[in-house]
Amino acid sequence: MFKFSKLNHKLIVAFLVLALIPLVLFATYSVKTASDALHTLAFNQLESVRAIKKSQVEDYVASMQAAFRVTLSSPNMRQALMEFVKAYNDGGGKIKTEDWEILAEFYGSQINNIVTGNEWYDLFLINPNGVIVYTDAKQSDLGMSITNSSLNNSSFANAFQQAADLSGAEIIVSDFAPYAPSNNKPAAFMVAKVHDEEEYGGGLVGYLAFQIHLDKINHIMQQREGMGATGESYLVGADRRMRSDSFLDPTGHSVLASFVGTVDKNGVDSHASNAALRGETGSEIVMDYNGNPVLSAYSPFKFGNNNWALLVEIDEAEAFAPAQKLRSTAILLVSASALVILVVGFLVARNISRAVIKVSQSAEAIANGDLTINIDLTQSDEVGTLQKAMQSMVTKLHDMVEHISSSADQQAAAAEELSVITEQTNKNMVEQHRATDMVATAITEMSATVDEVSSNTTEASLAAEEAAMRVMDSSKAVDQTVAGIQQLAVELDSTMGLIRNKSYHSLPVTILLICEP
């Protein structure tokens, strides 16, 4: 335990302790509560963005499917497919025959309007055997068989095969994968059967398919509202490769880079992505693909029948920056408050301690016999009350000592008179003692005379003896009287000593009072 010898030190420490303890407790509680609220708010914001992004992408996929259904049900589109298939067959399995060119000239603008209006990348017309008889983009896949060419390992071929295996006209959505005719850029497709006018009951006319434009998905995922400087949202496929470009690392973690490179360097194989691919939805602090701690809100996402993960993340440092700023502000405020309390406590403690020191000095002076001290009333509080009481005590002690001094003077005068009387009595006793001695001597001489006379006559002897007896009794009485007077003289001497002693001890007070200015 620390011990402080001075009152002002104790008061300063007391002020600091009494003021800082509740302040620190309140600040700690407030900061913790606010930090928890900010943490919750940060996660809630990510979860809100996650829900918005998921809804936007789902709406986009649904809108593509709806637009595709409209195209599938279009009689004009069905007629175009039938005529392109017929031209392909009539041309001996060749593309760009005269009939084909006429059809391309007639339907080309209509098909292009459908593609651009729906923001698709390309639209494919496919015969029942899987040969692409027309495309809007007219890439190298035009005229190729999806199942019997280099396309047979593509995601397009996979979706086509699934659609071919169905009895109805359900829409099959492929996952993104590199597509050679598009310079090996990742591509995804929607494929569905087209029947003649007798829906599902008539013969198979062929297939329609369109290539999904990745830019639209990227546009949705990279919208920045509420994402801060380090926030981003992105999609990850079941193969842990990107399904949308990263905003923070558009070079190393784009869709194209993830398919060209490796999962370790260009993909996302994190705790959050794996949890989402397992069908879990949650939000927590994890390590992102760059090894940075981030707040991640993740959720599974269905792209057709393909399992994706949707992740919304922001760096932990940025997300919790308001909480850290709040902690720093609280520390600064507590420090400033401590400084103010220290200064105020020092001033108040000095004011109190000075008054107490003056009172203690006055008390020490009074203890040393100085009753002339004047205590200044500098305070109006309890210390001032103490000063007032001390001044009242000094005044009363001063009056009491003056009264005692006056009484001592009177007693000294009476003692002087008694001393004179005692001395006179002592002198008288000495004279009386001398006279008594003379009487005793005379009696002794008389006794001798009587003894001489007694030897002459018996009667005279008897008479003298009786007289001698009486004289002896008188001598004893005189001796007793002398002894009593001597005892009285001794007691008077003792009384004189006491009076002188008392007068001597009363002298300093008397002198002090006499010397008072």
Q: Which residues contact 81 (CB under 8 A, 6 or more apart)?
A: 125, 194, 205, 206, 208
Q: Which residues contact 420 (CB under 8 A, 6 or more apart)?
A: none
What local confidence, expressed as pLDDT, does residue 422 receive? 64
DSSP string, 188-242: -EEEEEEE-SSTTTS-EEEEEEEEPPHHHHHHHHT--TT-TTT-EEEEEETTS-B
Distance of alpha carbon 394 from alpha carbon 376, whole angstroms: 12
Question: Measured between alpha carbons, how far apart are the two ends of the chain, in Å?
Answer: 50
Distance of alpha carbon 93 from alpha carbon 113, whole angstroms: 27
Rounded to 5°, the CA angle 195-197-202 comes to 55
Question: Residue 4 carries which DSSP code?
Answer: -
Count CB atoms within 10 A of the CB of residue 205: 20
Amino acid occupying residue 451 = D
Tens-digit pLDDT string for the chain (517 aa) = 556 566 667 777 776 777 778 878 877 877 788 878 888 999 999 999 999 999 999 999 999 999 999 999 999 999 999 999 999 999 999 998 999 999 999 999 999 999 999 999 999 999 999 999 999 999 999 999 999 999 999 999 999 999 999 988 899 999 999 999 999 999 999 999 999 875 445 689 999 999 998 999 999 999 988 788 999 999 999 999 999 999 999 999 999 999 999 999 999 999 999 999 999 999 999 999 999 999 999 999 999 999 999 999 999 999 888 877 877 887 888 788 778 877 877 777 667 767 677 767 777 777 777 767 777 666 666 666 776 776 777 787 777 777 777 876 787 776 677 667 767 766 766 676 676 667 557 656 666 664 665 565 456 456 546 755 765 775 676 577 657 667 766 766 676 666 566 544 544 444 344 344 4
Average pLDDT taken over every residue of the chain: 83
pTM: 0.65
Q: Which residues contact 377 (CB under 8 A, 6 or more apart)?
A: 384, 387, 388, 391
What order do you get walking across the sheet with 132-135 strand by strand? 132-135, 122-126, 204-211, 189-195, 172-173
What local confidence, expressed as pLDDT, does residue 147 receive? 93
101-115 pLDDT, tens digit each:
999 999 999 999 999
Distance of alpha carbon 222 from alpha carbon 234, whole angstroms: 8
What local confidence, expressed as pLDDT, does residue 515 receive? 40
3-state SS, residue 448: helix
Distance of alpha carbon 291 from alpha carbon 394, whole angstroms: 82
What local confidence, expressed as pLDDT, does residue 104 receive? 96
Instruction: Please identify which residue in the block is written with the tokens 């399904």.
Output: 243
Instruction: Please identify which residue in the block is written with the tokens 């590199």.
Output: 178
What local confidence, expressed as pLDDT, does residue 496 receive? 62
Handedness of CA 191, 193, 194, 200 (dihedral sign): negative
